[in-house]
Structure 1
Amino acid sequence: MRIPEETVERIRQASDILEVINDFVSLKKRGTNYIACCPFHNEKSPSFNVNPSRQIYKCFGCGKAGDAVRFVMDIENIGYGEALRYLAKKYGVEIEEQEQTPEEFLRQNERESLLIVLNFAKTFFQELLTDTDEGKSIGLSYFRERGFTNPTIEAFELGYSLDAWDALLQEGQRRGYSLDLLEKAGLILTKEREGGGNRKTFDRFRGRVMFPIHNVSGRVIAFGARILKVDKNQPKYLNSPETAAYHKSQVLYGIFQAKQTIRQEDVCYLTEGYTDVISLHQAGIKNVVASSGTSLTTEQIRLISRFTPNVTILYDGDAAGIKAALRGLDMVLEEGLNLRLLLLPDGEDPDSYVHKVGAEAFKTYIKQHSQDFIDFKANHWLAEAGDNPLKRAEGISDVCASITKIPDLLKRQTLSQRVAQVFHVSEQSVISEINRLLRKQQEQQHKDLERQQRNAGNRQQSSSNTSNSPSQPSLDDINALLDGFSIEDTPETEIENAALSAPNIPQETRQLVRTPLSYQEEECIRLLMNYGARELEPGITVCQYILSELHEIDFQTTPFNLILTLFREAYNRGDILTTNDFLDRQSIDDTLIQQQAINLTTPRYEISSGWEKHEIFVPSEEEISILADSAYRNILRIKKMLAEQRMASLQQLLRESGNQTPEEADQLLTEFMHFKRIDMHISNLLGTVISA
């Protein structure tokens, strides 16, 4: 389905990139921009930069960049149209929906299709809960027994699946959803009948209360389901299988409902079960999530770190709860988060305890009884060790092992003092133990690296005895592309980029090959994009000056030459392009231009405001004299490098003097000396002592 251009423009104008990104990442103001740890790759120091004035983002770590629409596409792994619909819903922009044809539906990518059918299932289960006798008498009664109110049921979109073999299957087919799509979404199962014959297809969830699992943006991506009748042949809880939309190790139950409060309270409470989250949320403790019945994973911890660096784990007080807390402890520390742990009274879980004592008493209990990981582990070991000195030493080593997981050196040093106090040992002995464990880890990492290198060498030797895989480029593939090219008529960058466009080369290796000239071309485009309309003197803009000086010169780096051509075409029409003319482009080719525009207009660093307090003033590039000098020297460097490039070509031809007549050789030498004089003249203007 195509969204009209005027609607797209209304969505873009309504969208605020700070609000959009804040739904997924906690941003902190720095100067005129905002920063955060990038949600697209793992990092400890923030390199993700958001520019609210230009409505763009840029990560200086992984290179991701774009506008609000691109961010939603990347973070949710959805297409352009679906990202626009997400923003339209967020900002109340009405889209005139048109009935999709079967062909249009098939053109959507698999993940988008799964999200649509999962949303249908969620609504279907909700209607069964509230609109059917079975749903009300069984499902709704169960939620009422748990104390869940209507607002809570609506907030978590709880539902019920009928105790029938194919209720959802029949409704899904009536709505036009294929069996294949319903099965890929994990909603139905297909099995062979005993003794052969036709296959049997039926609903995965039958006679269960339904807990939809949402992603960060609130889309339903899976379901958890609890059976209410006693049936030894059925598991008590049943979850959706892994799909293209759902990877359980990357999801936290309740994160959509909790993210704003996590950000406001600057702490996330981590539990184990669905009802723990729902009961605490209803009691007013809304910054709570659950690991969805799985062991805590690194991806889940990183998801929390988008919103807060502080985690408090709430687990049952029994042996299983202690074991679970200890298992996740080191993983949280390794990701650089601040950790506290709370064990509830024996026999209690967060759900039962908050109902027993109430919200305020529960909050008070958290404040009084939560412990940092050192106290938690120390109490566990001291209770187990008693008077046994060997057990006590084992406990100290175990706590020190957890400290080695912390990436921050200053934190490790501070915590070593705390361990010494708790165990009544010298701080030096603790530091020595931490250093011993760190050396041991480094030795193990070194051994693992050597083993990987040996294995890689063995695989390479093995592969050399077989033909090249179609997905891997061979030297012959690249050399074939170079046949017919010569130095004198083909720039180095063009040759290398032609080689990199070989169909057998994996996408991730197709990166722009940089030459010294390409950096000067990039700088020229940066000046055009940032200052093209600025006047260097009355009536002479940066754009006019640069384009006149580069008359009949084309750039050798493809994306930069494309942008230069766009500036020339616009200038010939009487226009000067601005950054926004590049940021709003959305076709496949234009996306590359958009990425370059963001790269060239987003500064990585800002001058601290504290410098002005000390009367330290740094000249700004926006000052006309500095801007004029930058443009002047950039053009000189481009012309100098072009001269050097031509000289290198002429030298190569002169070495092959046997292929030319004396007259031709003299002509080549005369041309070489001409470019040599140009090179030396530009070197003098630039103040270069030695010319290349």
Structure 2
Amino acid sequence: MISKTTIDRVFETARLEEVIGDFVQLKKSGANFKGLSPFTDERTPSFMVSPVKQIWKDFSSGKGGNVVAFLMEHEHFTYPEAIKYLAKKYNIEVEETERTDEQKQEADERESMYLVSEFAQRHFADMLWNSELGKAIGLTYFKERGFTPETIKKFGLGYCLDQWDGFTNAALDKGYRLSYLEKTGLTIVKPDPNNPNGTRKFDRFKGRVMFPIHSMSGRVLGFGGRILTNDKKAAKYLNSPESDIYHKSKVLYGIFYAKKAIAKEDNCFLVEGYTDVIQLHQRGLENVVSSSGTALTPEQIRLINRLTKNITVLFDGDAAGLRASLRGIDLILEQGMNVKVCTFPEGEDPDSFAKNNELEDIVGYLEGNAKDFIQFKANLLAKEAANDPIKRAETVRDIVNSIAKIPDGIKQEIYIQECAGIMNVSESVLFSTLAQIGKKESTEASKKQRQEQKAFDVVKNDATVEKVDVQYELERKIIEILLLYGNNTEKFEDLVLKESETGELVLEPESVEAKVYEKIYLDLQEDEIELANERFRTIYYKLIEALNQSENFSLSTFLGSLDQEMVSEVSSIMMEEEKYTLHNWERKDIYPKDKKIGVAQLTSETILTLRCFLIKKRMSALQGETREGTQDNRETLEEIMNYIQLNKLLNQKLNRVLS
């Protein structure tokens, strides 16, 4: 178990915007930061980060919370793992008490798979550096590729001995379960033909050099293994199979090492293989990732999209299936990203080119030879079409199809003009073709929408209009005021109920200076009001206690004392109004009023409105009693009349007209 001292230090030290900035490209937006949601597919930012409040809110998915909640949502960390990740990032020593056997068994399945994968990475690295076969075969191979010892260690490269079950037995000896070795794909388990009740165990990666595949936060998800013998029956490269922690379509090799450079350079170089990434990184070009030999997927593109809008795809000089690779470019365009393409000289690939050239020469070559995708595609397909009119027409349509995938109309027009010049076709014909494609897509979309609308109408006819829960909203507002301004000292105008000379009840104002939380607490206590919503009630009492105990109330420390469900609730409350800043009202000459200007008024009006609501609720209950009761209702009617008079006075104070 991690000590409370460590947890408190982590919350005090960690900067939310820095941590999230490792995963999402954030841009300043007033006092906050905004970016694309890391949880949904979107093109307009709806993800907000507040450095002052140290909380975040994703308005597209509804998720929110503090720094730990983000890591738990995004990286699927457990709470202790998130704390340890932050402690490592900020060089905080983790004080930990010994876990019991029962607590160890409670570690969830995903965490166990991560632990097995991380052990495997350490084991393979140990074999590479410390076993005779590892040094003779694996280390020699990496050095021949031009990798320095520092690079080999940085990327966690290793070697799996050419033994049937060497790794598996080493893992079992260390106490790792066979079930998790099998689920991660590190071990293959098959029935034993010689024993009906027995099984045989094999190392999946026997005799291969190992490339660990990391998540964006640096956790080992799986492996790529390259065979070094000339066994024609065995695949040259072998990847871990799909598992609960490894989904190859959602992972990019090298993203952990490249993310900061991608955000800094505002560009990502996309290559095909592991060694391409490592060689370029070693040369100093660090903003490079690989799809690891698989076809590029929308999920992988969205991973890059969180960090930059710009991708440069690097192809081998003699890349086989180059035309097929162009489909990946269309996927990038669909995500609204800017894409360039660069091919290396014939016989070269990113690995060999980086190995044989200095960084300055590599950067110069990429800057000089990276072409806009439309130029690249048009030139490539134009060569194939040559003088064949039919092929040429197909080529033009192919290019316009790509342009149609771009969501930005201005970009579409510019690319149409470029294409017209390269292919020697009139712009009007290309615009007409683009319009036809757009019309076809629009018709299909409308048809789909009509089908969905029919289904929706069936549901809508049975639906009832949901009423606003006034008490819920008012209680939520009280929590918001406490969180934002609880420690503020304000001048309040208290209302004291007195009897006038004529015998009428009147509310006389009295000025009083108090902390906001004290004012709220005393007013609710005086009226014997308890929050009805259970979650709000729990947060309310925790807040009052925290504000009362410390004059230097820290929101991040307070959030650290709550469970994750409460953290999510608090972040939703505090970031609710931040979503309006996403619309950038100032550009439309609309300037929302700053609530800080009238904190005392906001507090008083919220409490008064809640009192009015509860009075009306009590009056309705009393009226129900008079209708149902058979006894003398004079006392009840008198109580109702008193409430009516009090309600009238409170509404006068709120400047409301009662019907």
Answer whether TM exceeds 0.5 for this pair: yes
Q: Paired residue for 1:559?
A: 535
Q: Paired residue for 1:190?
A: 189
| Distance (Å, rounded) in 1 between the aligned partners of 2:14 and 2:544 | 32
| Distance (Å, rounded) in 1 between the aligned partners of 2:91 and 2:272 | 35
| 2:6/2:94 contact within 8 Å kept | yes
How far off its partner does 1:677 sit? 4.8
| Distance (Å, rounded) in 2 between the aligned partners of 1:608 and 1:43 | 18
Pair 263,431 (structure 1): closer, same or farther in 2 beyond 3 Å:
same
Give the counterpart letter for 2:287 in structure 1. Answer: N
How far off its partner does 1:682 sit? 4.2
Q: Paired residue for 1:591?
A: 567
| Distance (Å, rounded) in 2 between the aligned partners of 1:278 and 1:605 | 41
| Distance (Å, rounded) in 2 between the aligned partners of 1:360 and 1:570 | 57
How far off its partner does 1:651 sit? 6.3
User: The residue matched to 2:176 in structure 1 has which SS?
Assistant: coil
Q: Paired residue for 1:305?
A: 305
| 2:484/2:574 contact within 8 Å kept | no
| Distance (Å, rounded) in 1 between the aligned partners of 2:617 and 2:353 | 77
Is structure 2 residue 654 aligned with structure 1 residue 686? Answer: yes
Is structure 2 residue 46 aligned with structure 1 residue 79? Answer: no
Q: Where does 1:638-653 land on structure 2 (aligned, <5 Å)? A: 638-649=610-621
Give the counterpart letter for 2:366 in structure 1. Answer: I
| Distance (Å, rounded) in 2 between the aligned partners of 1:157 and 1:581 | 36
Q: Paired residue for 1:661?
A: 630
Pair 595,28 (structure 1): closer, same or farther in 2 beyond 3 Å:
closer
User: The residue matched to 1:171 in structure 2 has which SS?
Assistant: helix
Q: Where does 1:138-537 land on structure 2 (aligned, <5 Å)? A: 138-194=137-193, 197=196, 198-318=198-318, 320-449=320-449, 515-537=469-491
Q: Paired residue for 2:110?
A: 111
Pair 330,650 (structure 1): closer, same or farther in 2 beyond 3 Å:
farther
| Distance (Å, rounded) in 1 between the aligned partners of 2:352 and 2:577 | 54
| Distance (Å, rounded) in 1 between the aligned partners of 2:417 and 2:610 | 58
How far off its partner does 1:372 sit? 1.3
Unpaired runs of at least 5, structure 2? 492-511
How far off its partner does 1:177 sit? 0.9
State the Cα deviation string for residues 474-520 of structure 1 (Å, max 9, x = none). Answer: x9xxxxxxxxxxxxxxxxxxxx9xxxxxxxxxxxxxxxx95133222
Pair 443,260 (structure 1): closer, same or farther in 2 beyond 3 Å:
same
Pair 571,365 (structure 1): closer, same or farther in 2 beyond 3 Å:
closer
State the Cα deviation string for residues 334-372 of structure 1 (Å, max 9, x = none). Answer: 111110112333443211233345544333332222211
Pairing partner for 2:601 from 622, 629, 636 = 629
Unpaired runs of at least 5, structure 1? 461-474, 476-495, 497-512
| 1:214/1:222 contact within 8 Å kept | yes
How far off its partner does 1:202 sit? 1.8
How far off its partner does 1:426 sit? 4.2
Pair 58,188 (structure 1): closer, same or farther in 2 beyond 3 Å:
same
How far off its partner does 1:122 sit? 0.8
- Give the paired residue count: 630
Q: Paired residue for 2:15?
A: 16
Pair 228,441 (structure 1): closer, same or farther in 2 beyond 3 Å:
same
Is structure 2 residue 508 aligned with structure 1 residue 539? Answer: no
| 1:313/1:325 contact within 8 Å kept | no
| Distance (Å, rounded) in 2 between the aligned partners of 1:326 and 1:660 | 81
| Distance (Å, rounded) in 2 between the aligned partners of 1:669 and 1:78 | 60
| 1:526/1:600 contact within 8 Å kept | no
Give the counterpart letter for 1:528 in structure 2. Answer: L
Q: Paired residue for 2:506?
A: none
| Distance (Å, rounded) in 1 between the aligned partners of 2:395 and 2:419 | 11
| Distance (Å, rounded) in 2 between the aligned partners of 1:565 and 1:100 | 32
Q: Paired residue for 1:548?
A: 522
Pair 258,442 (structure 1): closer, same or farther in 2 beyond 3 Å:
same
User: The residue matched to 1:206 in structure 2 has which SS?
Assistant: coil
Give the counterpart letter for 1:686 in structure 2. Answer: L
RMSD: 3.4
| 2:57/2:572 contact within 8 Å kept | no
How far off its partner does 1:432 sit? 3.3
How far off its partner does 1:302 sit? 0.9
Q: Where does 1:5-44 land on structure 2 (aligned, <5 Å)? A: 5-44=4-43
Pair 637,411 (structure 1): closer, same or farther in 2 beyond 3 Å:
farther
| Distance (Å, rounded) in 1 between the aligned partners of 2:71 and 2:121 | 22
Pair 568,265 (structure 1): closer, same or farther in 2 beyond 3 Å:
closer
> Which is worse superposed, 594-603 or 171-180?
594-603
User: The residue matched to 1:221 in structure 2 has which SS?
Assistant: strand
| Distance (Å, rounded) in 1 between the aligned partners of 2:292 and 2:582 | 42
| Distance (Å, rounded) in 1 between the aligned partners of 2:223 and 2:562 | 34
Q: Where does 1:665-676 land on structure 2 (aligned, <5 Å)? A: 675-676=643-644
Pair 663,416 (structure 1): closer, same or farther in 2 beyond 3 Å:
farther
> Which is worse superposed, 20-29 or 598-607?
598-607
Q: Paired residue for 1:485?
A: none
| Distance (Å, rounded) in 2 between the aligned partners of 1:308 and 1:113 | 33
Pair 130,571 (structure 1): closer, same or farther in 2 beyond 3 Å:
closer
State the Cα deviation string for residues 237-268 of structure 1 (Å, max 9, x = none). Answer: 11111122211111111111212222222211
Identity %: 40
Pair 669,438 (structure 1): closer, same or farther in 2 beyond 3 Å:
farther
User: The residue matched to 2:596 in structure 1 has which SS?
Assistant: coil
User: The residue matched to 1:261 in structure 2 has which SS?
Assistant: helix
Give the counterpart letter for 2:267 in structure 1. Answer: V
Q: Paired residue for 1:472?
A: none
Pair 440,195 (structure 1): closer, same or farther in 2 beyond 3 Å:
farther
How far off its partner does 1:224 sit? 0.4
How far off its partner does 1:196 sit? 5.1
How far off its partner does 1:332 sit? 0.6
Give the counterpart letter for 2:599 in structure 1. Answer: L
| 1:650/1:668 contact within 8 Å kept | yes
State the Cα deviation string for residues 590-649 of structure 1 (Å, max 9, x = none). Answer: 4355445644696753998999xx9x99764323xx222222322232233334434555
How far off its partner does 1:156 sit? 1.1
How far off its partner does 1:159 sit? 0.7
| 2:63/2:568 contact within 8 Å kept | no
Q: Paired residue for 2:127?
A: 128
State the Cα deviation string for residues 383-423 of structure 1 (Å, max 9, x = none). Answer: 23334444434333322222232223333344333334433
Pair 337,531 (structure 1): closer, same or farther in 2 beyond 3 Å:
same
Pair 514,200 (structure 1): closer, same or farther in 2 beyond 3 Å:
farther
| Distance (Å, rounded) in 2 between the aligned partners of 1:237 and 1:574 | 59
Pair 376,606 (structure 1): closer, same or farther in 2 beyond 3 Å:
closer
| Distance (Å, rounded) in 2 between the aligned partners of 1:518 and 1:6 | 36
User: The residue matched to 1:384 in structure 2 has which SS?
Assistant: helix
| Distance (Å, rounded) in 1 between the aligned partners of 2:550 and 2:152 | 60
Q: Compute the TM-score of the two structures, normalised by the length of structure 2.
A: 0.86
Pair 645,195 (structure 1): closer, same or farther in 2 beyond 3 Å:
same
| 1:208/1:228 contact within 8 Å kept | yes
Q: Compute the TM-score of the two structures, normalised by the length of structure 1.
A: 0.82
| Distance (Å, rounded) in 2 between the aligned partners of 1:652 and 1:414 | 71
User: The residue matched to 2:223 in structure 1 has which SS?
Assistant: strand
> Which is worse superposed, 26-35 or 282-291?
26-35
User: The residue matched to 1:622 in structure 2 has which SS?
Assistant: helix
